[in-house]
């Protein structure tokens, strides 16, 4: 074979290889686009997203159907919603829960541990997953996060309803404008205990007031206490310390007034962490479409201790 023929043959092989590579790239690109489209409607399983300041936010994303986004309390993680995630998944919903920055498997941030940034992180996740017509459910600190997110980022059909469970709204801290709130000494005590011995503090809270296990005749669950401790100790001490200010001092009054979707406010009247009188009873009056359900004798952590009841009432609200 002549040198000319050999060179021509080589060029033909190279051209064919380039064409094959281009075709493969096009197929892979199409598959990726298809997968992204499917993830908008069906749970991707979860993963992480990186937000503007470089923090990574861990999330779970299971199932198909109308999305429900769960926002956990301090100092926990998305694992605190296990009973709700599994129940609503079985009811045909797409269930999503994230670990707030500084909590759980998300970055242990030393900045941005405030409600505005928490809400912006949720907005980034909602954009990433292209969530529409979503229901947002928040417990305790997560209830404040829901209020701030829905008020500031929940327009354009992104949010259909919201639920606040034992939420810190409208504001926890006592002040001349909020005489029924808790004094700053309570929250200073949180910070002192966290800094001195976080591991012990994170045992004492669930073993005592959080689930009402300190009440006479309470049915104490060591597994529940251990799971609370496990979740808390996964997060960052600095972020947890900062978050005390975020959940106790942030005023959500204007957020609640701005929300124009139906909101179910659920609160136990034996909540020793967020007393109902200065929380749910005030918050529901600020909402345009608020509905209040009070649970006699139930604690702050009632979504865990009485999951069947709370899930049933949420389902009825979602379907209404």
Catalytic positions, please?
140, 271, 300
The residues, ordered by sequence, that sit 6+ positions from 178 with a Cβ below 8 Å of its Cβ are 170, 171, 278
Instruction: Using alpha carbons, list the distances in angstroms from residue 158 to 50, 291, 293.
Output: 21, 21, 25
Q: Are 98 and 106 in contact (CB under 8 A)?
A: yes
Q: Are 128 and 116 in contact (CB under 8 A)?
A: no
Indicate left, alpha or beta for 89 from its phi (over 0: left) and psi (-120 to 50: alpha).
alpha
Cβ count near 157 (within 10 Å): 10
Q: Measured between alpha carbons, how far is 169 from 266 in angstroms, rounded to an integer? A: 12
Task: Give CA 236 to chain center in angstroms.
Answer: 17
Residue 160 exposed, middle or buried by CB count within 10 Å (0-12, 13-18, 19+): middle
Q: What angle do CA 132, 146, 212 make, to 5 degrees?
A: 130
Q: Say what angle helices 237-249 and 184-205 make with each other, to 10 degrees.
A: 130
| Phi (first) and psi of residue 228, to 5 degrees | -60, -45
């Amino acid at each position: 074979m002549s040198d000319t023929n050999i060179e021509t043959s080589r060029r033909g092989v190279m051209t064919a290889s380039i064409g094959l590579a281009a075709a493969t790239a096009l197929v892979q690109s199409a598959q990726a686009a298809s997968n992204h489209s499917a993830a908008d409607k069906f749970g991707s399983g979860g993963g992480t997203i990186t937000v503007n300041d470089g923090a990574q936010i861990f999330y779970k994303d299971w199932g198909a159907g109308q999305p429900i986004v769960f926002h956990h309390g301090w100092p926990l993680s998305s694992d605190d919603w296990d009973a709700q995630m599994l129940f609503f998944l079985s009811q045909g919903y797409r269930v999503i829960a994230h670990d707030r920055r500084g909590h759980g498997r998300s970055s242990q941030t030393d900045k941005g541990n405030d409600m505005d940034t928490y809400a912006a992180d949720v907005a980034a996740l909602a954009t990433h997953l292209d969530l529409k017509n979503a229901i947002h459910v928040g417990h305790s600190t997560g209830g404040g996060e829901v209020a701030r997110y829905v008020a500031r980022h929940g327009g354009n059909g992104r949010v259909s309803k919201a639920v606040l469970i034992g939420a810190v709204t409208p504001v926890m801290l006592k002040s001349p404008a909020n005489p029924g709130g808790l004094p700053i000494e309570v929250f200073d005590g949180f910070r002192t205990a966290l800094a001195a011995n976080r591991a012990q503090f994170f045992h004492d809270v669930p073993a005592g007031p959080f689930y009402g296990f300190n009440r006479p005749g309470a049915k104490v669950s060591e597994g529940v206490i251990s799971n609370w401790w496990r979740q808390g100790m996964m997060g960052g001490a600095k972020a947890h310390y900062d978050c005390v200010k975020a959940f106790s001092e942030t005023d959500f009054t204007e957020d609640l007034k701005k929300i124009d979707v139906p909101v179910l406010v659920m609160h136990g009247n034996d909540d020793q962490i967020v007393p109902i009188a200065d929380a749910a009873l005030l918050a529901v009056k600020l909402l345009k479409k608020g509905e209040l359900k009070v649970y006699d004798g139930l604690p702050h952590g009632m979504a865990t201790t009485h999951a069947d009841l709370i899930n049933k009432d949420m389902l009825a609200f979602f379907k209404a």
